[in-house]
Amino acid sequence: MRQGNKKQTLTEQLVRQITGYIRENRLKSGDPLPTESEMVKQFKVSRVALREAFCYLKGLGLIVSRRGSCLRVANPGVAEVIEGVISKICLPEANIVNELFELRRTLELGCIADAVENASDADLRAIEAARLKFERLASEEELNPRLLDEAEVQFHHALFLPAGCRILGVVTASLREFFNLKVTQPQDALWYSREKLKQLCEEHRNIAEAFLAHSPEAAFSAVRRHLNSKTYAQPPCHPKTGENT
């Protein structure tokens, strides 16, 4: 079987076949799957290959097993599935990080109206506190890029927490993990220049003011400018060469 131009592994084929079986037979949460022997015969594969597919599906939270019982269909939410998929990605390749940033950008722009309309006074205080924290770190004589990056993530978390989008939280947390793997301290200084920090602080201020004004339209425009800006979009440097990836 092929997906686009990429040949699928036997495990990938089995995962598709098992999930297809669940869908075609309209199995619900808690329903049992066929026995291992039955699936070996049905899919014409070895037990080793089948168990590898089971491990993958368990990792994604799509099936569960209990001692002394057969495999059963689980009932994961979309956020749990996405979290499981992302956790399987080991290498923080530039294209993966860029795709996750684009997904986060799409989710944030889609959530902005709900975030503004649902934001309580406590939420607005949290947004302002996160903004001021970033601004304070950006004004220090000796910059700590890792703390600045964490403060940027905290600001975005505060912005979109009122929207209640769990998937966005999963993607943001995953980007945090990738950034920690990809960037090393000696090259971090290349990530934030004084000019970039000044622009980021201004963009943060515009977003926070739109929230305070309870204006979804103004907030959407401010967030879009922020996420489209060259300052925000420039990728982290390569951990070995210090060059942009």
Yes or no: say if 11 and 18 are a contact pair by the CB < 8 Å rule: no
Predicted confidence (pLDDT) at residue 230 exceeds the cutoff of 80: no
- CA atoms lying within 13 Å on the CB side of residue 46: 5
Element (DSSP H or E) covering residue 73: strand 72-73
Q: CB neighbours (10 Å) of residue 241?
A: 9
SS3 244: strand
Q: What is the pLDDT of residue 6?
A: 46
Q: Residue 80: what residue type?
A: E
Domain 2-76: give its CATH code.
Answer: 1.10.10.10
Domain ranges across the chain: 2-76, 92-233
CATH H-level, domain 92-233: superfamily: GntR ligand-binding domain-like (1.20.120.530)
Query: Which residue stretches of the chain are H helix?
Result: 10-24, 36-43, 47-59, 78-87, 94-118, 121-139, 145-160, 166-182, 185-188, 194-212, 216-228, 230-233
Task: Give residues with Cβ within 8 angstroms of 24, minimum separation 6.
Answer: none
Mean pLDDT of 14-19: 86
Q: CB neighbours (10 Å) of residue 31?
A: 11
The per-residue pLDDT for range 92-108, each reduced to its tens digit, is: 555 666 777 787 788 88
Q: CB neighbours (10 Å) of residue 195?
A: 9
Predicted confidence (pLDDT) at residue 238 exceeds the cutoff of 50: no
CA distance 4 to 7: 8
DSSP label of 77: -
The per-residue pLDDT for range 26-62, each reduced to its tens digit, is: 888 888 999 999 999 999 999 998 988 888 788 777 8
